């Protein structure tokens, strides 16, 4: 399967991440945990992230896979 990870970094430290496999945000810092809680309860934000998987990852995956195969 395909997994879409959207990381949010502040001062070079990842504080929150959206993972399409679990379908929700995961916080890594106190600030990230608070954001994750808020964002996970917002269907609009979750839907937007899930949409990125469909809009961006699926069409580009074919290009990436063919490029990788070309190099091997």
CA distances 1 to 28, 47, 56, Å, are 25, 19, 15
For residue 4, name the pLDDT band (cuts at 50, 70, 90).
Answer: confident
* Measured distance CA(35)–CA(72) in Å, rounded: 41
The tens digit of pLDDT for each residue in 41-61 reads: 999 999 998 888 787 766 666
Domains annotated for the chain, with CATH where assigned, are: 5-70 (3.10.320.10)
Residue 30 has pLDDT above 90, yes or no: yes
* Measured distance CA(51)–CA(46) in Å, rounded: 8
């Amino acid at each position: 399967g395909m997994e879409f990870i959207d990381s949010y970094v502040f001062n070079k430290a990842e504080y929150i991440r959206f993972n399409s496999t679990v379908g929700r945000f995961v916080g890594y810092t106190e600030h990230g945990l608070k954001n994750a809680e808020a964002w996970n309860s917002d269907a609009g934000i979750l839907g937007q992230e899930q949409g990125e998987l469909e809009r961006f990852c699926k069409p580009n995956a074919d290009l990436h896979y063919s490029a990788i195969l070309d190099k091997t």
